[in-house]
Chain A
């Protein structure tokens, strides 16, 4: 595996009690956005979970250089019904470095003193995707990042992905063809 590669997946078969997806192979070099595509239930999220250790790898290999940390935004991450933490505290907890992406977007900057449990679904989604993107991690996993986002939020996300540093790479699961068309460098069919 060359240093330029952030992730190499070879003949992966992943699942839980039994394999649900694969064999699947792909490589993610730095500077690229790779999109996993497929029908509902094809196993795209299972591939993501295999990369974070939640799903089981039955066969094949997942190779990631030891120095490559990952940041991930799972598809489902509901807020606890009550959580007295501010947006500012959340960004600090995530070790987010907004300057990497040109600073905190206006629509998040105005929320910094708000409690997380007072955010709308779209605001929470935008915040956690932004926090994932501006962590000091070269490898970024985003599972359905456009869920709950309005058109402005989607446009902001496109701009953020296009503005990523060249030494970082993104593995993305997304169903929205327009969004994928704007950001993808590679498409990999799952299932």
Chain B
């Protein structure tokens, strides 16, 4: 148990905790837009960016975020709702990551870390990036929620009244890509996907109201994270698979009888 109190684990713990609270709420909005595959799309682009950065001796985090932002630009040009573009991102990102890893030892090591989700090696820049993301997202989230809900339930009305809908959608995609990319390089690619997808999936099935939905999703993300952080450290397992397994177990709540 002393391990948990080690100063060296404080930065990873805080970084992951912020993402565990934020990403599931972003996932609720991605599910509302029926674009939950975005998590894997942006995560794979981030992975490819990280691998390229590693191979070219560039800083990994900015390289990963940069390629994810290219995905946002592609999304803005695509202009159609749905998951087709994200499928292309997954495949292109995966192929790039694997090919770069095949020719660069640094990239290969990084790729393995992205698969394992080695949270415990996270350092100060990740913490700062997560804190900035959280500070920016908290005031933005109610506005984006309202806009995306109105787009879904009151279609075309805001555009007809001159509301700048397209720029708000671009902002949402930038927030989505940044959250996922940062989660991918911090928690691992599949962990980022699980954190965006599973809590929102459970909350959509169980919650009785919209407010309860995003609160439940954030709560599930944080609880799963706390369990996985302690478990992975105590049993000495890679964090990513432990976190995904924990989320899967908590996800069984979706099948609660009598709901």
Contact among B152, B153, B203 for A84, CB-based, below 8 A: B203
Min CB distance, A133 to chain B, in Å?
13
**Residues of chain A within 8 A of B211, CB atoms compared:** 89
Q: Determine the distance from Cα of A72 to Cα of B209 in the docked complex, in whole angstroms.
A: 24
Q: Find out whether the CB atom of B34 lies under 8 angstroms from the CB atom of A53.
A: no
Q: Does A103 contact B (CB under 8 A)?
A: no
Q: Find out whether the CB atom of A69 lies under 8 angstroms from the CB atom of B153.
A: no
Min CB distance, A67 to chain B, in Å?
11
Best-surrounded residue of A49, A52, A70, A113 (most CB of chain B within 10 A): A52
Best-surrounded residue of A83, A90, A137 (most CB of chain B within 10 A): A83
Q: Find out whether the CB atom of A84 lies under 8 angstroms from the CB atom of B207.
A: yes
Q: How many of chain A's residues have a CB under 8 angstroms from any CB in B?
A: 27
Q: How many of chain B's residues have a CB under 8 angstroms from any CB in A?
A: 25
* A24-32, A74-82, A177-185: which lies at the interface: A74-82
Q: Does A51 contact B (CB under 8 A)?
A: yes
Min CB distance, B172 to chain A, in Å?
17
Q: Does A94 contact B (CB under 8 A)?
A: yes
In the complex with contacts A70-B161, A86-B209, A93-B146, A80-B152 CB distance below 8 A: yes
Q: Find out whether the CB atom of A52 lies under 8 angstroms from the CB atom of B208.
A: no
**Residues of chain B within 8 A of A52, CB atoms compared:** 156-157, 159-160
Q: Find out whether the CB atom of A72 lies under 8 angstroms from the CB atom of B156.
A: yes
Which residues 185-204 of B sit at the A interface, judged by CB distance below 8 A? Answer: 203-204
Q: Does A71 contact B (CB under 8 A)?
A: yes
Q: Does A150 contact B (CB under 8 A)?
A: no
**Which residue numbers of B lie inside 8 Å of A, CB to CB?**
32, 34, 146, 149-150, 152-157, 159-161, 203-213
